[in-house]
Amino acid sequence: MPKPTEHISPKPENGGKFVFGVLGLLFAVLIVGAGITMWLGGATPGGLSIGGPFSLADGDGKRVTDRDLRGKFMLVYFGYTFCPDVCPTTLNQVAEAMDRLGPRADRVQTVFITIDPKRDTSPVMKQYVASFGPRIMGLTGTEAEIAAVAKEFRVYYAPHRTGDGPNDYTMDHSSVLYLLGPDGTFISPLRADAGAEQLAADLAKLLN
Ligand code: NI
């Protein structure tokens, strides 16, 4: 004797899978879309967690923590002093953008964090950042400290061997400027490759 409910909804399992699949895909698209929008738009009310506590060494080997830098906007960039092109270009653009901002630049502390701590010791960092003017603080640390802070800022880096010697390597690394507020919360990523004038204009909008 057939059960009365047997033919009410034909192939409910397939239909269910299909609907579930479509909803899942839609959800994924929405999440990715929202992420990209927040990333590019810089409006990140609790959306992206960028930054966090760190304790690193400045150019004199003195310990500097994220808390020491509160009270000013913090413009953070990760790179390394042996970088042949992107890092020096970016830091030049930052230095020029700061000049263009005039007195407003005093409200920003630019921090250059090395992802090559083996070669970028405190003295190396000190000399390097000085070549871009007086405004940039260079920070280094142990391999573990650098790995931790890079993770907090979602920075990718990896050595790329160029020979057999111990120093025969370059570093692949993501190149993004991060602006954090005076209270340490992430405000927005910034691009330096559009030029110093654009960077200064973008910064001016965010320095409220
Ligand atoms: Ni670089």
Distance 85 CA to ligand 1 centre (A): 6
Structure tokens at 85: 């092109």
In tens digits, the chain (208 residues) has pLDDT values of 444 444 444 444 444 444 445 445 444 544 444 444 444 444 444 557 899 999 999 999 999 999 999 999 999 999 999 999 999 999 999 999 999 999 999 999 999 999 999 999 999 999 999 999 999 999 999 999 999 999 999 999 999 999 999 999 999 999 999 999 999 999 999 988 889 999 999 999 999 7
**Element (DSSP H or E) covering residue 197:** helix 196-206
Distance 3 CA to ligand 1 centre (A): 70
Distance 138 CA to ligand 1 centre (A): 14
CATH topology of domain 14-43+56-207: Glutaredoxin (3.40.30)
Neighbours of ion ligand 1 (CB under 5 A): 79, 83, 86-87
* DSSP per position, 85-137: SHHHHHHHHHHHHHHHHGGGGGGEEEEEEES-TTT--HHHHHHHHHTT-SSEE
Distance 87 CA to ligand 1 centre (A): 4
Domain limits of the chain? 14-43+56-207
